[in-house]
Amino acid sequence: MVNIGYHTAKIQGQALRSLSQAILAKLVDTPIEQTRKVPINVYALSCERDLPEQVVSIRSFIRHVGIPNKLTVMSDGSYTDASCRLLCRIHPCVEVIPIDKLIRADLPQCVTDYAQLHPMGKKLSALMSIPVNGATIYTDSDILYFPGGIDLIDLANLDDKYNRYLSDCSNSLDKRIIYEDSENLNPVNAGFILFKQELDWSFAIERLANLKGDPGYFTEQTVVHLTIHQSHGKPLCPQKYVLNVEDQFIYPDTFASKEIALRHYVRDVRHKFWSNLAIFK
């Protein structure tokens, strides 16, 4: 039996993405109604393929959280000059830099090798290189921010040093660098991190260096998972900071609301990213 709701949502999502891509310049030039400044530095890593998502994600952050000190888009190298200029037109706080200009020169060789081998290795290199001067956010481009995102200001202003992470809805880890069953608990999703202090990556990087075989798609997330837990990171409330695919096969986005802070629209529910047209305002 054909799942009409699911297929309708997929078709609608594709159509809205195509429409948004066609009017991207107009969308970028639409003023964002926001004057609130927030004491946060934001970093995002994305590519030319994800330009529409990146534009909408940035606009949703500014609209619903506030204007950060700086919002830095790290280009994986594929962004054209025209796309870089378009991103910078969103707001004066936005800048675009090639990832190579951010990457630290003293990264471990196993990380450098991973970056040469796989896109997720580039992401790990970026995460390990982000300077943490006060509250700092890393965000994937497929994350939308909602009115509840104002909660991030309170978290940024808390007088503590706990890094906070987005809880994953599945155990998407590279089992080759998980040595104990207990290390599978409380899986971290590397799509959103609120840094309050720089991480000590040495524990997980030692395992990466000893990995038998090539690192893959989930190796980066596993290194982040181990490192965050080693630093006693705290999970964000999963009802407010949403990563959930339970509504994958039905029509509506059942988690989007004014009360949540964000939703990470991972691959299974990526089409639902485009169902929240109010975000475009």
Task: Read off the CATH number of the domain in which 61 is found.
Answer: 3.90.550.10
Report pLDDT for 6: 87
Report pLDDT for 163: 97
Report pLDDT for 281: 46
Report pLDDT for 33: 93
Report pLDDT for 3: 87
DSSP structure string for 93-156: TEEEEEHHHHS-TT--HHHHHHHHH-HHHHHHHHHHH---SSSEEEE-TTEEE-GGGGHHHHHH
Beta strand 143-145 with 262-264: parallel, antiparallel or unpaired?
antiparallel
Q: Give the C-alpha separation, 41 to 159, whole Å.
A: 17
Q: Identify the CA nearest to 246 among candidates 266, 260, 261, 226.
A: 266
What range does the domain containing 60 cover? 4-280
Domain count, the chain: 1
Please tell me the pTM assigned to this model.
0.95
pLDDT in tens, the chain (281 residues): 778 888 889 989 888 999 898 999 999 999 999 999 999 999 999 999 999 999 999 999 999 999 999 999 999 999 999 999 999 999 999 999 999 999 999 999 999 999 999 999 999 999 999 999 999 999 999 999 999 999 999 999 999 999 999 999 988 999 999 999 999 999 999 999 999 999 999 999 999 999 999 999 999 999 999 999 999 999 999 999 999 999 999 999 999 999 999 999 999 999 999 987 654 44
User: Half-sphere exposure of 210 toward its Cβ, with a 13 Å CA cutoff?
Assistant: 10
Report pLDDT for 277: 63
Q: Which residues contact 99 (CB under 8 A, 6 or more apart)?
A: 45, 74, 75, 76, 77, 122, 125, 126
Q: Give the C-alpha separation, 229 to 245, whole Å.
A: 24
